[in-house]
Amino acid sequence: MSLLRASGVQAGYGKVDVLFNGHITVAPGELVGIVGPNGAGKSTFLGAMAGSVRATAGSIEFENQSIVGRKPEDIVRLGLSLVPEGRAIFSDLTVQENLRLGLTGRRSKAGAELAMEDAADLFPVLTTHCDRMAGMLSGGQQQQLAIARALVSEPKLLLLDEPSLGLAPSVIQDVFSVLNRIKQTGTAVVVVEQRAHLVMSIAARTLVMREGHVRATLTPEDVRDEAKLAEAYFGTGEDKA
Amino acid sequence: MIQTILDALSYGGLYGLAALGIGLVFGVMRLVNFAHGELIAIGAYLLIISVPTLGLPVGIVIAVVGTAILALLMELGVFKRLRSAGPAVLLVASFGVSVFLQRIYEVVFGALPLSAQVAPWMNGVIEIAGTSVTRGSIVTIILALVLLGGMWFFIDRTTMGLQIRAASSDFQTARLLGVRSNRVIGAAFVFSGLLAAAVAFVAVTQRGSVDPLFGVNITILALVGTVIGGLGSLQGAALGGFLVGSTISLLNSFLGNYRVYTYTWLFILVIIVLLVRPGGLVSSKAARERV
Amino acid sequence: MSQPTLTGSTLPSSAVPGVTRFRWPELLGPIAVVIAVTYVVSALGASSSFLVQGALVTLVMVLALQVFIGNSGVLSFGQAAFAMVGGFASGLATAPVKIKENVLSDLWEPLKVLSMGVWPSLLLAVIVGMVVAFITGLFLMRLNGLAAGIATFALLMVADNIFFNWRKIGPGPQVLPQVPKFEFVDEALALAVVALIVVYLMGVSRRGRLLRATREDGLAARALGTSVWRLRVLFFTVSGGVAALSGAMYSHHAGAVSARDFYLGFTFTTLAMLVIGGVGSVWGAVVGTLVVAAIGEVLLRLEQGLQIGNLIIYVPNGARGVVIAAALVVMLIWRQQGLTGGREFALPRFRR
């Protein structure tokens, strides 16, 4: 039984399509990675899943229900939560207020307190700063806030768009160890990254996308296979972009 | 002298309320609602028509409910269908809705002003510290404080207020978290309608009459306030409106002759603000990316 | 959400509607239609002739809006200010000196004695309009989208406030009377055709196409920076000149001019005409003007009571304004590109 199943997804912005054939399957509790160069359509793919980008073709099913064309605020209530690229926290609101907003997408109001406590446990730094303006936090702290905010709605599937963007290496380590812990609680995770090595070692599978198509699927063993990586990333006979 | 200060404060409060009404809707929708003036007008019309026969309390209820309903109709009938449109299209649309309503009022109520004494006691005087001051200015100041305070409480302390703030800051992300876009926008419109009704009450008790163009001038000036105070900031809108209103009142009291060019200076200021500091006087990071 | 790069992909031509290159039918079509309508309606009588003249004046204004808004994609509420400038310039230059001395005693001396023929005064109006538009454009064209809309609205407010009050440069709150009128409808028609040609050529020009490209892609516009600003200033200036021409024509159509002739009502009507017809093309401007003017006239008759046989059909006073405003809003919701879809005039193609 797959939690998320997408195939033939086409999407873009305005009149220009960027994603031409997106497909993916995610089972409950799985961590799947999507990597690829800039412009590959990775963010667009996540956006199509979460409902912030409208898919012009293809099918996306969450728990066997089609979610194409549904509003983002409805999709999150089904259990699919997206942490957008660049963190997208509300800079003019406090940390606490940002987290409270995350509760809006919960399927049931019961258990909200517990969810907030769990988030506090995963990210103790947030409790220390809970009344600070979110815009004042460091990049790494903002990333943690963004993830915590998505977690308090207790999603079944968490989508992350380039969580490592703009973060120092040590901070990236922290973020990805948190992702691992999240996976261990049974939440499925899809992580989009430009840098493959970050994701490949913890992901059950890593999809490589280029120019709107999924070009290859890599497994953890392929991490050491440089040639296979290069080919998937850059394609045979093509210059580095 | 005291009257002059009270006048300035009451005009400031009045325009603060008007500007906040515009700012609320702008925050969640990037819509500068020219038709806000017509919300004020319908409030005034309902007061003028219902108070003489049904009394003030009932009249106020009718005006408040009527204005809120019209605000919702605007959203559901027109602006909801323009969700994906850019701010410029929304601007033209609101212009269109504004003129449309003005013409409807002309057809329904006639082009000539309708008069009635809604609350004559507002124009009476009371004694404070040995001087006579108009009740109207005191009531307006109190009303403005209560409403602005109430709105502040709502926006800052309630869940719906939090959602509105989030939607104003980043609409897309708010939706990703589950904030229901239509509900938030609808709430913003309803509240802007309530504020419009309050402005209508004050304005119509002063003027004693209403006509189809009743709301136009107030809206233009309130718009100036919203822009100066900062598009996208609710406190900025209220503050900007307050500044515009009180400044105009003081200019009227002191300058007499030269007040004819007040609009010129105000709108040149608007242009300068837009060129130099689009976020307005109360700038915030979110506001800067907006315009 | 970051915008993916579009390396290797080009915008399909259907993404940029409207004029792409010079095609004779696109220019001659609207001209022919305008000429035909003018003469057919004028033949109905003197009052119809007057109406058509008024429509031609409005058409020039709508064209002024089209050349700027249609090509730059930037909203402007301010063109009425340039019409005001043009109307005053031409009106003051042609009104009898005696009238100016008696009625407008506060007028600046050189303006009082200024006297020229109607046609030179039109040229004067256009030049003045372009200068004012150029100067204001230098500042305003730095703005985009909503800010531009509000700033140009502010410009209109400033112009109205100044012209309504400053008796040194104009009649102030009064009406400037006794402006020489056009004798026949041909004069207005000729000017309208000239305006059509100018606006169309601006649209098909290389600069026009460049400007329209920035309309579609805001990021590209920002990346191009000063070039966009220069283009916008150019088109804003031309737009100001055409608007001034419209204002000047108005003064010779009505025989009088005042500041409030070019205020919110005028701005609304001309903008509605452009949107309803189609912002993207000259044909849209023509269609919009004709359709809205026609509907307006029909409704005006109905307001006064139209007699068909034994029946008198009435609509309430003011219904005309309601219908036009409703048409504008409906068009924005249903079909933002207007009746013409932003496309230029095209001859019907015959297929076997």
Nearest residue of chain A to residue B169 (CA atoms): A90
Residue C274: its chain B contacts at CB < 8 A? none
pLDDT at B282: 54
Residue B285 has pLDDT above 80, yes or no: no
CB A174 within 8 A of CB A3: no
| CB-CB under 8 Å, B159 with A105 | no
CB contacts < 8 A, B to C, total: 122
Which helix or strand (DSSP H or E) is residue B206 part of? helix B181-207
C touches which chains (3+ CB pairs under 8 A)? Answer: A, B
Give A195's pLDDT tier (boundaries 50, 70, 90): confident
pLDDT at C9: 27
B283 touches chain A (CB under 8 A): no
Residue A76: its chain B contacts at CB < 8 A? 176-178
B131 touches chain A (CB under 8 A): no
pLDDT at C76: 93
Nearest residue of chain B to residue A78 (CA atoms): B178
Nearest residue of chain A to residue C16 (CA atoms): A15
pLDDT at C13: 34
Q: For A107-143, what is each residue's pLDDT tens digit? A: 888 888 899 888 888 888 888 888 899 989 988 899 9
Give A78 to chain B, closest Cα distance, Å: 10
A81 touches chain C (CB under 8 A): no
User: Residue C164, exposed/middle/buried by CB under 10 A (0-12, 13-18, 19+)?
Assistant: buried
Ranges of H-type helices in C76-217: 79-94, 97-103, 109-113, 118-140, 145-165, 185-204, 206-216
- Taking 70 as the pLDDT cut, the residues of chain C under it are 1-20, 216-222, 225-226, 349-352
A touches which chains (3+ CB pairs under 8 A)? Answer: B, C
DSSP E strands in chain B: the ranges are 114-115, 125-128, 131-134, 209-210
pTM of the entire predicted model: 0.86
Residue C337: its chain A contacts at CB < 8 A? none
> Measured between CB atoms, which of A52, A100, A104 is closest to B172?
A52
| CB-CB under 8 Å, B285 with A135 | yes
CB A72 within 8 A of CB A51: yes
- Higher local confidence (pLDDT), C26 or A77: A77
Q: What angle do CA C239, C242, C243 make, to 5 degrees?
A: 80
Q: Which residues contact B177 (CB under 8 A, 6 or more apart)?
A: A73, A76, A101, A102, A104, A105, A149, A150, A153, B166
B56 touches chain A (CB under 8 A): no
pLDDT at A60: 94
| CB-CB under 8 Å, A15 with C3 | no
B touches which chains (3+ CB pairs under 8 A)? Answer: A, C
In chain C, what are the domain boundaries? Answer: 18-263
C158 touches chain B (CB under 8 A): yes
The gap from C-alpha C211 to its chain's centroid, in whole angstroms, comes to 19
Q: For B180-224, what is each residue's pLDDT tens digit? A: 999 999 999 999 999 999 999 999 988 889 999 999 999 999 998
Residue B231: its chain C contacts at CB < 8 A? 146
pLDDT at A240: 36
Give A63 to chain B, closest Cα distance, Å: 19
For residue A94, the 8-state DSSP code is B
pLDDT at A48: 94
Residue C75: its chain B contacts at CB < 8 A? 88, 91-92
pLDDT at C147: 85
What single string gives the DSSP state of each residue in C90-118?
HHHHHS-HHHHHHH-TTS-HHHHH----H
Interface of B with C in 138-197 (CB under 8 A): 172
| CB-CB under 8 Å, B173 with A73 | no
Give A168 to chain B, closest Cα distance, Å: 24
Residue A90: its chain B contacts at CB < 8 A? 165-166, 169-170, 173
Residue B258 has pLDDT above 80, yes or no: no
Give C180 to chain B, closest Cα distance, Å: 31
The average pLDDT across A57-69 equals 92
The average pLDDT across A212-218 equals 86
A85 touches chain C (CB under 8 A): yes
Residue C336: its chain B contacts at CB < 8 A? 85, 89
pLDDT at B207: 86
Residue B256 has pLDDT above 90, yes or no: no
Q: For B24-39, what is each residue's pLDDT tens digit? A: 999 888 889 999 999 9
> Measured between CB atoms, which of A82, A88, A100 is closest to B170?
A88
What percentage of chain A reaches a pLDDT higher than 90? 44
Q: For A14-28, what is each residue's pLDDT tens digit? A: 778 889 999 999 999
Interface of B with A in 145-184 (CB under 8 A): 159, 162-163, 165-166, 169-170, 172-181
| CATH architecture type of domain A4-234 | 3-Layer(aba) Sandwich (3.40)
Nearest residue of chain C to residue B108 (CA atoms): C316
CB B287 within 8 A of CB B280: yes
| CB-CB under 8 Å, C12 with A18 | no
C-beta contacts of B26-29 below 8 A and 24+ residues apart: B26/B226, B26/B231, B26/B232, B26/B237, B27/B164, B27/B167, B27/B168, B27/B188, B27/B232, B27/B233, B27/B234, B28/B164, B28/B167, B28/B168, B28/B171, B28/B184, B28/B185, B28/B188, B29/B79, B29/B90, B29/B185, B29/B188
> Measured between CB atoms, which of B178, B285, B286 is closest to A104?
B178
